Each structure stands twice: as C-alpha cells, then as structure tokens.
C-alpha cells in the first residue's frame, strides 16, 4: 500500500511522504474492505494534491468548483428518486432494470461534462473545471450509495425479494441478507466514488475544452 505514496507529486512526497509511510506501517491490520477504502482515500488525496498544487489556487478556480457541488447534489437527488421508485414504490423481482441503469449512467456522464462546461466560465486555469468534475463525481458516487444503504436497510423486506440479491446471498458466506447487502454496499462505495471521480475529471475536461472552443470561435478577430 505504501507504493501508492508515489502517486503524490514530488513536492508533497518530500514534505509529507515519510510521515505517511510511517503512519501506514503503524496502522493495525484491516480486512479487505478496510484496505480498499484506505487505498481510495490515498488516491483521492494524491489527486487533490496534484490538482491544487504546491501553490494556492486562483480565486476563480475555487469559484469554479461551485457547479460541481450544485450539479453533483442535483444528480444525486434525481438518482435517489429513481432508486426509491424502482426499489420501494414500484419494485420488481426480476432483473429487467438494464435500460434504466444505462439511461442513468449516460445522464450522469452528460452532467459531468456540463460541470466542466460551466466551470470553465469561472476558471482561469484547467484546475477549476477538473476539480469541479472530481467533486461532482465523488458526490454522485458516495451519496448515491448512501441512498442505496438507506433504502436497502429500511426496506429490507422489499429489496430482499429481488432475484439478484437472492442468488448473490445464496452463493455468499454472509450470515444474513442484511450483512450480504451492506458488505456489497461498502465495496460499491469505494468503487463508484473512485470511478465517478475519475469520470468527472475526464468528462469535465472535455466540457471545459468545448467551452473554451466556443469562446474562441465567438471572440472578435477569430
């Protein structure tokens, strides 16, 4: 796990790398889920260090993060409505939610690109839109898993009738359906937060590039 320290920029490693390495050595042994969450946290910290840099961000770049927060929260709210609807209000015991899941992913990707497009209007450098995309992606991934955790635990009797959960629990070593679901949610939290953070950085960069291109096209003398 100490190899992940190499993801941090040189200035950060020279200043804090030795302390982090000692901290990782002194940490008590954890299970696979704990190690995965720690790895995600280290990667997130490395990404933040590379985005913010050794020097303070421009005020405009800090302001550019606001679209990421706003759109991330709005996307999470919309996904939460769909999750409650499909799992509680109108539940289905079959695995026929493929089109809905695909639509949700495409919508999230478009929103992440929109984050970069809007953030570029406020930012002076590339850091603002990228950081806004990372923030939006992380919020969407983490909060959406939080919604699933709430729904799956509060309405356990309903969601436990889903065939995918029945089959998964039957092939697991979990002592109960609740334990099986929550272990899966822990793993999904680490994966989705990391996945959507990276997707947010990439797609927001694309949206920012589009914004710059349109601005250049509309500038006088071009």
Looking at the structure, do residues 203 and 159 belong to the same domain, yes or no? yes
Is the CB of residue 43 less than 8 Å from the CB of residue 194? yes
166 to 1, 22, 126, 183, 188: CA distances (angstroms): 34, 43, 46, 15, 18
Say which residue the tokens 């996945």 belong to. Answer: 195
Asked if residue 73 and residue 33 are part of one domain, the reply reads no
Contact yes or no for 37/103 (Cβ under 8 A): no
Give pLDDT tens digits along the chain (222 positions): 677 788 888 888 888 888 888 887 777 666 666 666 777 778 777 877 776 665 555 566 667 778 899 999 999 999 999 999 988 888 876 656 677 788 999 999 999 999 999 998 877 777 888 989 999 999 999 899 999 999 999 999 998 888 888 999 999 999 999 999 999 998 888 888 889 999 999 999 999 999 988 877 765 554
**Are residues 7 and 46 in contact, defined by beta-carbon separation less than 8 angstroms?**
yes
Q: Which domain holds residue 35?
A: 1-55
Burial class (CB in 10 A: 0-12, 13-18, 19+), 217: exposed
pLDDT of residue 1: 61
Q: Are 147 and 85 found together in one domain? A: yes
* Distance (Å, whole) CA 191 – CA 137: 12
Final residue in a domain of this structure, among 38, 55, 72: 55
DSSP state of 222: -
Q: How far apart (Å, rounded) are the C-alpha atoms in residues 197 and 142? A: 10
Model pLDDT, residue 222: 44
Tell whether 22 and 112 lie within a shared domain: no
- 140 and 38 share one domain: no
As a residue count, the chain comes to 222
Same domain, 103 and 4: no
| Alpha-carbon distance values, 43 to 102, 113, 132, 188 (Å) | 27, 22, 17, 16
**Residue 82 sits in the same domain as residue 16:** no
Q: Which of helix, strand or coil describes residue 60?
A: helix
* Residues 46 and 83 reside in one and the same domain: no
Could you say which of 55, 75, 92 is where a domain stops? 55
Domains of the chain: total: 2
Is 73 found in the same domain as 35? no
Alpha helices in the chain (DSSP H): 10-12, 18-26, 32-52, 59-63, 66-84, 98-120, 127-154, 156-159, 163-170, 177-218
Does residue 150 sit in the same domain as residue 78? yes
Same domain (yes/no): 105, 168: yes
Residues 185 and 115 reside in one and the same domain: yes
* Cα 120 to the center of its chain, rounded Å: 20
């Amino acid at each position: 796990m100490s190899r992940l320290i190499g993801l941090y920029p040189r200035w950060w490693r020279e200043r804090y790398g030795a302390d982090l390495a000692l901290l990782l050595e002194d940490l008590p042994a954890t299970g696979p889920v704990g190690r995965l969450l720690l790895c995600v946290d280290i990667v997130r910290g490395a990404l933040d260090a590379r985005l913010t840099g050794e020097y303070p961000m421009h005020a405009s770049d800090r302001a550019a993060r606001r679209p990421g927060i706003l759109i991330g929260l709005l996307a999470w709210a919309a996904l939460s409505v769909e999750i409650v609807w499909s799992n509680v209000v109108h539940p289905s015991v079959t695995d026929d939610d493929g089109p809905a899941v695909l639509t949700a992913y495409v919508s999230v990707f478009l929103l992440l690109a929109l984050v970069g497009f809007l953030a570029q209007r406020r930012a002076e450098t590339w850091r603002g839109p990228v950081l806004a995309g990372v923030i939006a992606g992380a919020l969407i991934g983490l909060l959406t898993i939080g919604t699933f955790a709430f729904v799956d635990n509060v309405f356990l009797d309903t969601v436990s009738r889903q065939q995918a959960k029945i089959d998964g629990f039957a092939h697991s070593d979990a002592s109960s359906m609740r334990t099986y679901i929550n272990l899966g949610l822990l793993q999904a939290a680490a994966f989705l937060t990391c996945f959507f953070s990276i997707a947010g950085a990439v797609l927001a960069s694309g949206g920012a590039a589009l914004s710059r291109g349109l601005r250049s096209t509309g500038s006088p003398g071009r």
